[in-house]
């Protein structure tokens, strides 16, 4: 238990569906992150929120839309995804220079 909880753990969605991934952290951290990890590839940083403001957006397609309503919650809204978007999506949080703590991830399959 890392203090970062992601739901759902598994998600199968069609290419025309809209779904959302949720992340919640109970650590009082001031930054939250979304990462994507495809099979056999390194983690790719997608978005960073610091003090609830988006500070990093690494050329992620617009079919991925993040939302950070408060310092404890982070969402990733998904719509019209492609099969190549199937991956493990990981949320993390950190405080200043401290290490980041990751959730268990959401295994997403796009069919």
Partner 1 sequence: LAKTTQPISMDSYEGQEVNITCSHNNIATNDYITWYQQFPSQGPRFIIQGYKTKVTNEVASLFIPADRKSSTLSLPRVSLSDTAVYYCLVGDGDTGFQKLVFGTGTRLLVSP
Interface contacts to partner 1, rule CB under 8 A? 2, 4, 30-31, 33, 35, 42-43, 45, 48-51, 55-56, 88, 90-92, 94, 96-105, 107
Rounded least distance, CB 20 to partner 1, Å: 19
Contact 66, 49 (CB under 8 A): yes
Distance CA 64, CA 43 (A): 16
Output the smallest distance, CB 35 to partner 1, in A.
8
Q: Select 60 or 88, whichever has its Cβ closest to partner 1.
A: 88
Residue placing its CB nearer to partner 1 in the complex, 30 or 65: 30
Handedness of CA 28, 30, 36, 40 (dihedral sign): negative
In the numeric block, the tokens 């220079």 are attached to 97
Cβ of residue 99: shortest distance to partner 1, in angstroms? 4
- Tokens representing 8 are 């759902």
């Amino acid at each position: 238990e890392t203090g970062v909880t992601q739901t759902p753990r598994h998600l199968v969605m069609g290419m025309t569906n809209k779904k959302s991934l949720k992340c919640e952290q109970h650590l009082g951290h001031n930054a939250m992150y979304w990462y994507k990890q495809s099979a056999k590839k390194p983690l790719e940083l997608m978005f960073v929120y610091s003090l609830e403001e988006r500070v990093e957006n690494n050329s992620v397609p617009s079919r991925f839309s993040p939302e950070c309503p408060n310092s404890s919650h982070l969402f990733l809204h998904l719509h019209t995804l492609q099969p190549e978007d199937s991956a493990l999506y990981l949320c993390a949080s950190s405080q200043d220079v401290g290490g980041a703590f990751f959730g268990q991830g959401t295994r997403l399959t796009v069919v």
